[in-house]
Structure 1
Amino acid sequence: MNSYRMGVIGDPIAHTLSPAIHTKMAEHLGLCCEYTAHHVKRGELGQFVERTKAENFAGFNVTIPHKKDIMDFLDECDPYARKCGAVNTVKITDGKLKGYNTDGDGLYASLKQNGILMDRSRVLLLGAGGAALSICQKALDVGAKVTVLCRSPKKAAAFAEKDGVTVRELSPTVQKECAKVTDIIINATPLGMEGIPDDFWDFSFLDETKAAVYDIVYKPAETSLMRESRNRGLRAFNGLGMLINQAIYAFSIFTGQEFDFGEMASYLEREIGKIVYTK
C-alpha cells in the first residue's frame, strides 16, 4: 500500500482543520496517510522546503502568510496559480516542487453543489485579500463579470489589471448600487468571523437584490450576513464547503487518487461539521 506524507504550513497554524480533513479523506479511501501541521514563520520557508525533500513529502498546503512567498521556491507553477499570484498547494515529485491554487476551484465546486453556477454570472466580491484573488480568477475563467469592493481600492491593483473586473470602494452606498445588479455576492473578508470584533455595519444592501450569498467564513455556522440574507428570502451559505472542496482538490493532487468528489464532499461536510460545530 502506498503511504503519503503531507502537511500544511502557516503562521499561525494551530487553528487549522487541514489535518482532520485530509486524515478523514485517507480513512474513507483506505489509504495510509500522515498529514501534519507545521508552524513556519517568515524567513523559514527555505528550511522547510529542504526538509520536505529530505523526508519524502508527497506535498504540502500553504496558508497565511506564505501563499505568495512560496512561489520563489517552486520549480514549476500551474498556469491558474500563476494568474492568481498565489499558491496554496505544492506537489513534490522526485524533489521537484510544483505549485497549484485550489481555492477558486473549491468555491466553484461548493457553489455548484448548492445549485449555483458561477459561469457567465455577475459576481460581487467583497474584499481584496489572497482568497479573493483566487476566487476572482476562477470567476473570470468561467466567463463571469466581477466587481470587487474593498476599503482601499489602491491596494487592489492586482484586480484592476484584469479584464472583466471593476474595483470600487467598499461603502454602504456602493454596496447597494452593485448588489441590485449582481447574481452572486461573495464575502471574502473576515467580517463576521468568530473571534473577530468587526462585522458589517449595514445590511441594507441586501434589500433590493435577488443574489445568492456566499460567506467564505465558516465559523460561526451562520454569520450575521447569512442570517440577514435568509431573513430577506435569499439563499445563503457558509464557507465550510469551500474549505472542504479546496482540500479535496489538493488531496487528489498529492496522491493522484481518483474518487467521486461530490460524494467525498458530502461525507466530509458531515464529519468535519461535527468537529467544527459541536461544542
Structure 2
Amino acid sequence: MAERITGYTQLIGLLGTPIAHSLSPTMHNEAFAKLGLDYAYMAFGVGNEQLPDVIKGFRALGLRGFNVTMPNKSLVLDYLDKLSPAAELAGSVNTVVNEDGVLTGHITDGTGYMRALKEEGINVIGEKMTIAGGGGAATAICIQAALDGVKEISIFNKKDKFYPRAEATVEKIRSKTDCKVQLFDVDDQEALRREIADSVIFTNATGVGMKPLEDQCLISDPSMLRPDLVVSDVVYIPKKTKLLEMAEARGCRTINGLGMMLWQGARAFEIWTGKEMPVGYIKELLF
C-alpha cells in the first residue's frame, strides 16, 4: 500500500458502525492494486450523529466516493444531490459517487444479492421467498427481487422504527411490479412458519447473527426449516451464523453474505472507476 499511495491517489471511504470487521477495504484495495488503479479505500466508524459532518468533510476533500452501511443507509439520502432510480425506489443508498462536487447515491445491495444467488445456481424467479428485515439491505433485496420477477415475497420485521419503512416498501412493490407481497410481525412465529412452508428460500436481512447479536436467531423452532429450503444470510462475519448452523443441521442448503458482499462491491467498483472488478481474483482471495 505504501508503494501505491501518491499525491494523485483518490480516496474512497466506507461509513458505518460497527465497521472494523468489514472485508470491503481488503476487497477494493486488492482490486485497485490488481488493475493498477490509483485509488485507496478506508473504513470509518460513523453513526447517524456524525454522518452529516463526515459527508460535508468528504465533499470538501473531494473524495471520489464512499460506501454506506448500517446504520446510515437511509439517513444518507438527506445529504446527497441526486439518486439513481433504484435508490430512489428503495429509499436507501449504499454507494455514493462524487462527480465534480455532485454526490449521487446508488443502491447495489439488491443486484448483489440476486447475482449471488444466480452464481450459486439458485433460481428464485417465478417463485416465493420469505425475508426478515425492513432496513436498507432488506428493502433493496425485496425491490430488486420483485423487479427481477420473483412471484411472491413475505416480509417479516419487528414493529420498530423500520416497520413503517417496510410498509412503504410493500406499497412500492405493489404499485411498481406484479409481485404479490405481504408484511408480518416477525414475533408472529406461526405466521413465519406458514410463509416459509411454501417458499423456496428464507433470507435473514437483519443484523441478527452479527456481533453483538451473534448468539441470536430469528427462527425459534428449527422444524420451520425443511431440507429442500435454501437459507441465506446477509451477514458474512461470522461466516456461519446461528441461523445457518441451524439450517445446516436440518439439511438445508445455506449461503452466507459473502457472495452478496462481493457482487454489490463489484458494481460499486464499476460506478467509481468505470472498470470491471477482477471478480475471479477477489473471490479466490477472500473465499
TM-score of the superposition, structure 2-length normalised? 0.84
Distance across 1 between alignment mates of 2:38 and 2:55: 23
Distance across 2 between alignment mates of 1:17 and 1:10: 13
Q: Is the aligned partner of 1:64 residue 2:83?
A: no
The corresponding residue for 1:87 is: 93
The corresponding residue for 1:181 is: 198
Give the C-alpha shift of residue 11 in structure 1: 3.5
Give the C-alpha shift of residue 129 in structure 1: 2.2
The corresponding residue for 1:276 is: none
* Deviation digits for residues 108-141 of structure 1 (CA, Å, limit 9, x no counterpart): 1111110013322211112222211111111111
Give the C-alpha shift of residue 272 in structure 1: 2.5
The corresponding residue for 1:21 is: 27
Structure 1 window deviating more from structure 2 (123-132 vs 97-106): it is: 123-132
- CA contact 1:159–1:165 (8 Å) conserved in 2: no
Give the C-alpha shift of residue 204 in structure 1: 1.0
What is the aligned residue count? 268
* Deviation digits for residues 25-70 of structure 1 (CA, Å, limit 9, x no counterpart): 1122222221112233434434333332333311111122221222
Give the C-alpha shift of residue 159 in structure 1: 2.9
The corresponding residue for 1:192 is: 209
- CA contact 1:240–1:269 (8 Å) conserved in 2: no
Distance across 1 between alignment mates of 2:193 and 2:93: 33
Distance across 1 between alignment mates of 2:276 and 2:255: 27
Query: Gaps spanning 5+ residues in structure 1: where?
Result: 274-279
Pair 1:68–1:127, CA change in 2 (3 A):
closer
The corresponding residue for 2:245 is: 227
Q: Is the aligned partner of 1:150 residue 2:157?
A: yes
Q: 1:54 is paired with a residue of what secondary structure?
A: helix
Q: 2:134 is paired with a residue of what secondary structure?
A: coil
Query: Gaps spanning 5+ residues in structure 2: where?
Result: 1-5, 175-179
Distance across 2 between alignment mates of 1:53 and 1:168: 40
The corresponding residue for 2:177 is: none
The corresponding residue for 1:268 is: 282
Distance across 1 between alignment mates of 2:93 and 2:271: 13
For 1:26-41, what aligned pairs fall within 5 Å after superposition? 26-41=32-47
- CA contact 1:78–1:100 (8 Å) conserved in 2: yes
TM-score of the superposition, structure 1-length normalised? 0.87
Distance across 2 between alignment mates of 1:206 and 1:50: 46
Q: Is the aligned partner of 1:166 residue 2:173?
A: no
Q: 1:61 is paired with a residue of what secondary structure?
A: strand
- CA contact 1:90–1:99 (8 Å) conserved in 2: yes
The corresponding residue for 2:17 is: 11
Q: Is the aligned partner of 1:76 residue 2:82?
A: yes
* Deviation digits for residues 145-178 of structure 1 (CA, Å, limit 9, x no counterpart): 2111223285432233231310122233222211
Distance across 2 between alignment mates of 1:23 and 1:104: 23
Distance across 1 between alignment mates of 2:266 and 2:129: 24
Pair 1:169–1:51, CA change in 2 (3 A):
closer
